[in-house]
Structure 1
Amino acid sequence: MPTPADRLLRRLEWRLGRRLDGRLQGAYRTVWHGAGIDFTDLRAYTPEDDVRHIDWNVTARLDEPFVRKYTEDREVTAWLVVDKSASMRFGGHEGKDSVATELAVSLARVVSQGGNRVGAILFDNAAHRIVPPRTGRDQILRIAHELLKPPVKAPTGRTRGAKRAPATTDLSAMLRLAAMTTAKRRGLIFVMSDFIGEPGWDRPLGMLTHRHEVVVIRVVDPAELDLPDLGVILVEDAETGEQILVDTSDPLLRGRLAGQVDAREAELADAMRRAGVGAHRITTDQDLLAALVDLVHTSGRGRR
């Protein structure tokens, strides 16, 4: 009997095959580069050559300038860094966590074409899971299986002297874990999160972008941007568990919330700029595959 991970991958493969493969296969190779360049040969220098490629040892021996020839390493090692915290579960079955899961599996399938390796880092304050990078369809199934696992429940009791877990997601810790896990070789890093959590994550994200090619994907539910008018409702903070009754039809409340949303969007944009990376915002009501095409074609136009 097929597992949930197998059913998810088959469904996404069918949709990718019907709508996207032809549009994406060439695109990702020109947008996301390999880890470096390999020396292949020497040839005589011409005036059009970059002087930085001159091999001075050979030039001195032969008394004639020679330059090194290189070929680009097209193999990509990609990592999916996925926020699995409580706030990502907002919206239920079709919520942020479901969108991030489908997007991560789709990206794994696209990038793994041609023998590229894909790994995953799944982060929550309570626990994190690391899937080392490998190639092949079995690896995508392994990642899908980990993504579909139920969240790890935080322990209810505390032992004396134990540190209390942060009330909101420690995004800095997630990004530091990503930097430490991927330190051996330059790679392609997809960071998927709603970026609801402890502030100060822009610095570790900036350090990650200096080492790797980083694609940031911010997953958002429309209700987080524009609160729907539902009357009086009970609202619970997914991160802290705090509950409060809210009259969503109150114009004063809606105005204050709109102002807070605008301020938060501006703060996020500033933090992304400080980190030197642009964020792709994907909402849970978008066509996921159309968003994936746009993501591939717009990535890499900024920082190289």
Structure 2
Amino acid sequence: MTAPPDRLLRRLEWRVLRRLDGRLQGAYRTAFRGTGIDFDSLREYAPDEDVRHIDWNVTARLDQPHVRQYTEDRELTAWLVLDQSASMRFGETPQGKDSMLTDLAVCLARLFTRGGNRVGAVLYDNRRHRVVPPRTGRDHVLRLTDLVTAPTPDRGGGSTDLAAMIRLAARSAPRRGLVFVISDFIGEGDWAGELTRLALRHEVVAIRVVHPIELELPDLGLVLVEDAETGEQVLADTGDPLFRERLREEVAARESSVDEAMTRAGVAAHRVRSDEDLVEALVEMVRRAKRGRR
């Protein structure tokens, strides 16, 4: 049975966020900046200014060089794009992929709202999508927790259209901000291209959640393997050395393909195992984010 939202949030605040504060001493507050920049006004260009700031369209119309002025939005808006498809429901609680997604989402939401920042969410499965407008405060995190932990009907309907999920996120977040895409990235569509387009406007962090069995299948003898998204079933002999070697090669090729796609998209990419310690995973994300800014 899923814990009530208030109990889950209190547990994560006590067991994860308190430890995270002790380990990072607030470093996560500056690791992900995501600052928004809004157009404010136009003014005439001064001779000592950088010519790259000139608005050439306005300059051509007015026959006088002008530059754009911007105001910096100090309030961070973070978005959580959460893949709730069938493949994310693989694994038993508390070490299933959906359990890790829930804990990541709740912890990230609370981390950012504690500093007065706003957090919104896109909850996506094959046939049901929900957009939660960004707000701040603990009550908002409780509402998000309630939505994320609500039972998701097993609707089937084929592989997840990850490209559509990312496009929905782009439409939902018109202003520049920080976007966390939490998914196993198992699905259809040109998600890499959509991720690239999303990263042109936002600071994007892709968190790929994987189950240990997806990386190394144990010897379980003859088992019936079912694709969580398509329902296709195959009888596999997991003790067959040739089968295991072929599976390792397929896993290595898939991991390499996903890594290359993330690199091309220009996003900060992290892989988190569903049995991994959440504090260690978050600490590593922050450390990599800070190294990337040097």
1:146 to 1:53, Cα distance in 2 relative to 1, 3 A: same
- Per-residue deviation, 1:73: 3.1
Query: 2:259 corresponds to which residue?
Result: 269
C-alpha separation in 1, matches of 2:100 and 2:69: 44
After TM superposition, give the deviation of residue 33 of structure 1 in Å: 3.3
Q: Are the aligned partners of 2:34 and 2:77 in contact in 1 as well (CA < 8 Å)?
A: no
Q: CA deviation at 1:16?
A: 3.3
| CA displacement at 1:125 relative to structure 2 | 0.6
The answer as to whether partners of 2:204 and 2:268 remain within 8 angstroms in 1 is: no
Which residue in 1 is equivalent to 2:160?
A: 169
* Structure-1 separation of matches of 2:138 and 2:201: 28
Deviation readout 1:152-188 (Å, 9 max, x if unpaired): 3428xxxxxxxxx4x1111001001101111x21111
2:202 aligned residue (189, 207, 212): 212
Residue 147 (structure 2) pairs with residue 194 (structure 1): no
Q: CA deviation at 1:17?
A: 4.4
Which runs of 5 or more residues in structure 1 are unaligned?
A: 40-44, 55-66, 156-164
Superposition map of 1:2-17 within 5 A: 4-17=4-17
Matched AA of 1:114: G
- State the partner residue of 2:89: 89
Letter in 2 for 1:14: W
Tell me which structure has the larger Cα radius of gyration. 1
Question: Can you give the 5+ residue segments of structure 2 that lack an aligned partner in the other structure?
Answer: 41-45, 55-66
Q: Which moved more, 1:20-29 or 1:135-144?
A: 20-29
Q: Residue 30 and residue 201 in structure 1: after superposition, are their counterparts in 2 closer, same or farther (change >3 A)?
A: closer
C-alpha displacement at 1:53, in angstroms? 7.3
Aligned mates of 1:140, 1:274 — CA distance in 2: 33
CA distance in 2, matches of 1:124, 1:258: 29
Is the 1:187–1:213 contact (alpha carbons within 8 Å) kept by the matching residues of 2?
yes
Q: Give me the whole-angstrom Cα distance separating, in 1, the residues matched to 2:126 and 2:193.
A: 19
TM-score (norm 2): 0.85
> What is the alpha-carbon distance in structure 1 between the residues aligned to residue 31 and residue 184 of structure 2?
28
Give the aligned length: 277
Overall identity of the aligned pairs, in %: 59
SS at match of 2:152: coil
Q: Tell me how far apart the structure 1 counterparts of residues 250 and 189 of structure 2 sit (CA, whole Å).
A: 16
Is contact 2:106–2:141 with CA below 8 Å preserved after alignment?
yes
Q: Indicate whether 1:229 and 2:219 are aligned.
A: yes
Seen in structure 2, the aligned counterparts of structure 1 residues 186 and 52 have a Cα distance that, compared at 3 Å, is same
Mapping 1:59-208, distance limit 5 Å: 72-93=72-93, 94-154=95-155, 165=157, 167-182=158-173, 184-208=174-198
